[in-house]
């Protein structure tokens, strides 16, 4: 896979630092190895690791996905729907969707489980048989996720996502009491300029428009709010960044909130992952409207009894 793009920065920066912040799945050492193998060019010229980039430079990056050697693994997939074209899964938290280049994350991901479940009856992607995971998901989030089992289905789902014809709903528990019944936040977000793990609304690298709506549906212990959320755009960490930016972070978010509050939630509710669950997807499938919904995972469900979604 080849990425080609222009750089928009305010000051000169080392290329390996910039790319590791832009591509959070790649460590700085992995980017440096790519540079050593001539997989990175600036203005169509090969470079060295300490090469500096400036505003409006053009970067070309070649990612060789075939080196990942993804193996099928027998996992207990929570399947909501399946036919010859599509697989809909309720993903558990603490499960990565995709393998990434370093060794620890090459196994026990959703892709490994789908490869085993489908018995290799999948499309060929870059000369390797793999499932088309239609959309990304944080490791710590549980939710309904779409897996295309054919090129035709992947093309269709990609188009309706691009045209914003899929309605995607979440349930989240946030810190403090959100008084507004309905709310919308619209901003530009993307990579944090100095932290490769984070997204941000403040001076992001290559900013992208993000739109989030939510409705307050419940309060817990006069300290936490339960929100029903709909996203219009599909940006990485979108909900987490938007809520944190207005000081209503999702409880037990390891990246966008603080340790003290997280430990308080862990002791009181026995929750040790972010309280975010994507529970419903609605879109047209086979010429009629379909809705795929699955209940909350037990760790979040026990905190918010009696809520009717």
- Note the pLDDT tens digit of each residue in 210-250: 999 999 999 998 999 999 999 999 888 999 999 999 999 99
Looking at the domain 2-63, which fold is it?
3.10.290
Superfamily of domain covering 167-301:
Pseudouridine synthase (3.30.2350.10)
pLDDT of residue 158: 82
Centroid of chain to Cα 85? 23
Best CA proximity match to 201, nearest among 209, 253, 248? 209
pLDDT confidence bin for 309, thresholds 50/70/90 = very low
| Gap between the Cα atoms of 21 and 4, Å rounded | 16
**241 φ, ψ (degrees, to nearest 5):** -70, -45
Q: Hey, what's the torsion of the CAs at 109, 114, 119, 122, to 10 degrees? A: -110
Better-scored residue on pLDDT, 172 or 50:
172
- Tell me what the pLDDT averaged over the chain comes to: 84
Task: Identify any residues that bridge with 142 across adjacent strands, giving them in sequence order.
Answer: 277
138 labelled catalytic: yes
pLDDT of residue 308: 45
pLDDT of residue 287: 93
| Gap between the Cα atoms of 277 and 130, Å rounded | 26
Better-scored residue on pLDDT, 137 or 90:
90
Best CA proximity match to 205, nearest among 226, 186, 222, 191? 191
Q: What is the mean pLDDT of residues 116-143?
A: 67
Better-scored residue on pLDDT, 49 or 157:
157
Q: Which of 57, 138, 140, 253 is catalytic?
A: 138
pLDDT confidence bin for 173, thresholds 50/70/90 = very high
Instruction: For domain 67-162, give the CATH number.
Output: 3.30.2350.10
The predicted-structure confidence for 20-36, as pLDDT tens digits, reads as follows 777 766 777 788 888 98
**Helices 15-22, 28-36: inter-axial angle, 10-degree rounding:** 120
The predicted-structure confidence for 35-93, as pLDDT tens digits, reads as follows 988 899 999 888 988 899 999 899 998 876 554 567 889 999 999 999 999 999 988 88
| Gap between the Cα atoms of 84 and 121, Å rounded | 9
One-letter-per-residue 3-state SS of the chain: CEEEEECCCCCCEEHHHHHHHHCCCCCHHHHHHHHHCCCEEECCEECCCCCEECCCCEEEEECCHHHHCCCCCCCCCCEEEECCCEEEEEECCCCCCCCCCCHHHCCCCHHHHHHHHHCCCCCEECCEECCEECCCCCCCCEEEEEEECCHHHHHHHHHHHHCCCCEEEEEEEEECCCCCCEEEEEEEEEECCCCCCCEECCCCEEEEEEEEEEEEEEEECCCEEEEEEEECCCCCCHHHHHHHHCCCCECCCCCCCCHHHHHHHHHHHCCCCCCEEEEEEEEEECCEEEEEECCCCHHHHCCCCCCCC
pLDDT of residue 68: 52
pLDDT confidence bin for 126, thresholds 50/70/90 = very low
Q: Do domains 67-162 and 167-301 have the same CATH topology?
A: yes
Q: What is the mean pLDDT of residues 4-17?
A: 85
pLDDT of residue 129: 45
The full set of domain ranges for the chain reads 2-63, 67-162, 167-301
| Gap between the Cα atoms of 24 and 192, Å rounded | 10
pLDDT of residue 219: 93
């Amino acid at each position: 896979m080849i990425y080609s793009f222009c750089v928009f920065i305010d000051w000169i920066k080392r290329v390996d630092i910039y790319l590791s912040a832009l591509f959070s799945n790649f460590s700085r050492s992995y980017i440096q190895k790519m540079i050593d193998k001539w997989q990175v060019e600036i203005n169509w010229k090969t470079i060295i690791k300490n090469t500096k980039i400036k505003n409006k430079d053009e970067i070309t990056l070649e990612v060789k996905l075939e080196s990942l050697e993804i193996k099928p693994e027998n996992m207990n997939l929570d399947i909501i729907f399946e036919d010859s074209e599509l697989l809909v899964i309720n993903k558990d938290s603490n499960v990565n969707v995709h393998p990434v280049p370093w060794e620890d994350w090459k196994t026990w991901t959703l892709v490994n489980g789908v490869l085993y479940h489908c018995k290799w009856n999948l499309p060929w992607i870059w000369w390797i048989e793999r499932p088309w995971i239609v959309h990304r998901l944080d490791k710590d989030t549980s939710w309904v996720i779409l897996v295309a089992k054919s090129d035709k289905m992947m093309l269709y789902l990609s188009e309706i996502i691009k045209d914003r014809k899929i309605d995607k709903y979440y349930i989240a528990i946030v810190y403090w009491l959100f008084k507004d019944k309905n709310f919308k936040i619209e901003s530009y977000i993307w990579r944090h300029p100095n932290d490769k793990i984070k997204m941000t609304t403040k001076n992001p690298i290559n900013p992208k428009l993000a739109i989030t709506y939510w409705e307050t549906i419940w309060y817990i212990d006069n300290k936490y709010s339960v929100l029903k959320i709909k996203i219009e755009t599909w940006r990485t960490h979108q909900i987490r960044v938007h809520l944190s930016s207005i000081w209503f972070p999702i409880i037990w978010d390891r990246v966008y909130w603080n340790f003290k509050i997280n430990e308080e939630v862990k002791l009181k509710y026995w929750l040790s992952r972010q309280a975010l669950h994507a529970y419903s997807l609605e879109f047209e499938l086979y010429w009629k409207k379909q809705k795929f919904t699955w209940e909350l995972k037990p760790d979040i469900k026990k905190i918010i009894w009696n809520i009717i979604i």
